[in-house]
Amino acid sequence: MPDGQNDRGDQGNGPGQGPRPSINWRLIIPLLLIFFLLPMLFNLFQGNRTGQEISYTQFRSLVVEGQIRSVTIQADRITGVLSSGAVNTGLRGSNAYTTYIPIWGDPELLPLLRDNNVEINTEPADQATFLGVLVGILPYVFLLWIFLMMFRNIRGQGRGIFQVGENKAKLYDQEKEKTTFSDVAGLEGAKEEVMEIVDFLKDPGRYRALGARSPKGILLVGPPGTGKTLIARAIAGEAGVPFFSMSGSDFMEMFVGVGASRVRNLFKDAKKKSPSIIFIDELDSIGRHRGAGLGGGHDEREQTLNQMLSELDGFEQNESTVVIAATNRPDILDPALLRPGRFDRQITVPLPTKDERKQILEVHVRKKPMAPDVDLDKVANRTIGFSGADLQNLLNEAALVAARKKDKSITEEHIEQARDRIVMGIERKSIKMKEKDRRITAYHEAGHAITAALLPNMDPVSKITIIPRGMALGVTHMEPAEERWHHSREYLEEQLVTLLGGRAAEMNVFGSMTSGASNDLKRATQIARSMVSMWGMSDKLAHIAMGEGDRDVFLGEQLSRQRSYSEETAREIDEEIMSILRGAYERAQSLLKEHRDSLDKLSTLLLEDEEVDGERVYELLNVPRQSEES
């Protein structure tokens, strides 16, 4: 996100692997129902066929009373039918019955049945039915099927215990996903640097004949979203060689030694298809400085790094395999990675310039219906600090805005709304501020805008709003008139005045402070500290750097590092920071007191319209925009 904004608020599958199979639950659920319901149906069928169950004592009593017509004996089970005139039997709804002979037997049963003229039938003990066999084997068939499905799913995902160390890099199909330098807008300097690699991969023999070798590793360094991955794919597309892509985090696993195994397999697969390119994104996730941290380093990550160092420049030579890596934190990489013979060449991929931003926009508007009023040159000029990914997101957001409004093409207004959404945040329409809070916010943002417009070195004011956006209750946006490659002391001091202008306006009008300036104070303190400790821009401590910026990224480094200056110097640094901030606040107070009428008018406009264009600020002050002065 570009600078110049003040706010107020408290608030892969491995190569060659196919798609992973998944369990079809639409098939499993009906089978589960059948599995549980079939035995119930079988028991119900058996119950209807054999009749109601009675005790053996009751059965003998019914025989003696002459109410039993027939019996069928099968092993220890007795079934049968009552006589037609049976009464007071206790059976409900049926004359069929079932009982069982006691385990000790009953030698008097047959004589008893003959004496009472009962018809006696017998059946074999092991008479099996189809339904009985089906119910018996169904659970085993079902369990076997579930096991086979689980085994197939685990095998398809490549998560088996014997496959955990396999290469997880994605091999791009050059026929389907071919990318060339014509697809990379801007970045001319970076493309010139890598053309030598493309030439080597196309004709390595010509280089070897002269005793030359291509760089084994290329490290692409730059902010996120600047096109590092796109350049790597363009190199493979131009050279027409296999392209293995893998993220640094893909090497890491919970099992010790897996990362090193995946590195070996990655280089092994790349050698089989040589000449080839290996691309490792986010190299810093495995290439961090070894031994940095409390109690030593991460064993698994260090083993992975050691294996990669060996593969890059070990006993085995990889003359036909080029490794390209990308990172936005080169300062934390292990020095062994950056020595000649490993990552020989570092190529900086910076944020695009104005002309490069226009080229990137032209690439992304090819498949979008653009209205005639859209001036890409103007859009490029108003997106200083945007990366290639930011520009792509800008046009996508503009397309979404147009779709919500049901327009047929993307207009300049849609792009402007998308830019406000990205730079200042999403409108929070659900927040309903009280009138007192709205007045405080209006004066706070007006203080930022008035001080910025009056200072000659500040970026021009673009827009002021008291509509809550993101975490802020109001936003004042300053749009750079041109790209800045250096920040002068005068510019930084005026930026401090602008940041503290909101707090100064609150004190001038309401005589009290609010927490709305928390973000402004934080940013102002960071700038002032950098001016004193890093850039040597103070009167007492000029021309000397006392700090090392944001390099304390490991807890171990932060605790073990000794300061290179005394306690007295540290006190003087704090005093200088406080002196710079105090001077900036007093300057903001003086400017706002001198232009109190303009401050009141601008606040009134904000309360009425909620959003005011920067041009109105310069009209109220009767001063030209900073870009017009220059």
The β-bridge relationship of strands 96-100 and 119-122 is: unpaired
Nearest to 21 by CA among 143, 148, 142: 148
Which pLDDT tens digit goes with each residue over 240-287?
Answer: 778 888 887 777 765 556 778 888 888 888 888 877 888 888 888 888
Helices (H), 75-184: 109-115, 130-157
Does residue 419 contact residue 381 with C-beta atoms inside 8 Å? no
Residue type, 214: S
At residue 362's C-alpha, the angle toward residues 357 and 366, to 5°, is: 150
Burial of 106 (0-12, 13-18, 19+ CB in 10 A): exposed
Helices vs. strands in the chain: H and E counts, helices first: 23, 15
Residue 275: cis peptide before it, omega within 30 degrees of 0: yes
The full length of the chain comes to 630
Burial of 252 (0-12, 13-18, 19+ CB in 10 A): middle
Tell me the CATH number for domain 435-629: 1.20.58.760
Per mean pLDDT, which of 209-218, 431-440, 592-601 is the most reliable?
A: 592-601
Mean pLDDT rounded to a whole number for the chain: 78
Does residue 133 sit in helix, strand or coil?
helix
Which pLDDT tens digit goes with each residue over 164-183?
Answer: 445 556 676 666 667 777 77
Task: Given the residues 445, 479, 493, 494, select the one marked as catalytic.
Answer: 445
445 catalytic per annotation: yes
Q: What is the mean pLDDT of residues 141-148?
A: 75
Q: Where are the domains of the chain?
A: 51-126, 173-348, 354-424, 435-629
Q: Of 83-92, 223-232, 405-414, 611-620, which gets the smallest average pLDDT?
A: 83-92
Q: Could you give the C-alpha distances from 408 to 247, 398, 404, 414, 505, in angstroms and in order? A: 39, 12, 11, 12, 45
Does pLDDT of 43 surpass 60?
A: no
Q: Could you give the C-alpha distances from 25 to 28, 146, 156, 267, in angstroms and in order? A: 5, 11, 17, 39
CATH architecture of the domain 173-348 equals 3-Layer(aba) Sandwich (3.40)
CATH architecture of the domain 354-424 equals Orthogonal Bundle (1.10)
**Separation CA 571–CA 583 (nearest Å):** 18
Does residue 198 sit in helix, strand or coil?
helix
What is the pLDDT, as a whole number, of residue 177? 64
Find where tokens 């009023």 sit: 373
Nearest to 496 by CA among 586, 570, 423, 425: 586
Q: What is the mean pLDDT of residues 513-525?
A: 91
Q: What is the mean pLDDT of residues 74-86?
A: 78
Assign 552 a pLDDT band (cuts: 50, 70, 90).
very low
**Separation CA 554–CA 558 (nearest Å):** 6
Q: What token pair was written down for 308?
A: 């990669």
Which pLDDT tens digit goes with each residue over 350-394?
Answer: 888 888 888 889 888 888 899 888 888 888 888 888 888 889 899
What does the DSSP assignment read for 473-525?
SEEEEE--SS--S---HHHHHHHHHHHTHHHHHHHHHHSS--GGGHHHHHHHH
Tell me the CATH number for domain 51-126: 3.30.720.210
What is the pLDDT, as a whole number, of residue 38? 59
Does pLDDT of 1 surpass 50?
A: no
- The phi and psi torsions of 145 (rounded to 5 degrees) equal -65, -45
Q: What token pair was written down for 337?
A: 């990675």
Does residue 268 contact residue 531 with C-beta atoms inside 8 Å? no
